[in-house]
Amino acid sequence: MRKRAWPYQQIPYQYSIHFLEREGAELHHREFLAEPNVDPREELMRRLLAEIPDDACVVAYNASFEARILKELAEWLPQYRGKIEKIMTNMRDLMAPFRRRDVYHWRMKGSYSQKEVLPARVPELGYEGMEVADGEMARQAYFAMCEADDPSEVDRIREPLLKYCKLDTLGMVRILERLRKYA
C-alpha cells in the first residue's frame, strides 16, 4: 500500500542534472518538470534513477535536504529503495566548504546559500533578473502552472522554471570547477 501525501510535505516535481561521463568529457544536461496536476513522484523517480549510474558521484548543494527528499521517496516507492540508497551513499555536499567557511568571499554577504555563493565565486552567472530566481518563486510558479487552464500559459510558466533549475545545477558545476583550482 502506498503512502499518501500529507499537509506541508515537500513533493519534488522538478530536477536538473549536469553531468560528465568521464573527467574532461563534454558537459551534458538532463531535466524533468512534471506535468501540472499529477502526482509526479513515481515518474520523477523513475526518470531520475535512469539518469544516474549506480557508481556516480552525485554532487548536491545542501545534500541533507536532497537526501531527506530521496529518503521520503524511497519510503513511498520501496521498489526503488536500493538504487535511491546508492545515490544517497555517493552524494557529496557542495555547500560544505562554504558552510564551514573554508572558502569565503565578502560578496557572499555572510551567507553560504548558493544564491550568494554563485555570483560571488562565478560572477558571470547569477540569478538577478530571472523571472524565477529562488525556490519560493519556483514553488509559486509551479502552483500557477497547476492552476492555469490555457496550455500556452502552462508553456510560458514552464520555461522560467526550467531555466532556473538549469542554472542551479550549471552553477554547481562552475562552483566546483573554481574550487578545484584552489585544491
First to last CA, the chain: 48
Strand locations in the chain, DSSP E? 14-20, 27-33, 58-60, 91-93
Which region, left, alpha or beta, applies to residue 101 given φ > 0 means left and ψ of -120 to 50 means alpha? left
pLDDT of residue 3: 60
Per-residue pLDDT tens digits of the chain, which is 183 residues long: 456 777 777 889 999 999 998 888 999 999 999 999 999 999 999 999 999 998 999 999 999 999 999 999 999 999 999 999 999 999 999 999 999 999 999 999 999 999 999 999 999 999 999 999 999 999 999 999 999 999 999 999 999 999 999 999 999 999 999 999 887
pTM over 0.85: yes
Euclidean distance between CA atoms 61 and 64, whole angstroms: 9
Q: What is the dihedral of CA 139, 10, 164, 60, to 10 degrees?
A: 160
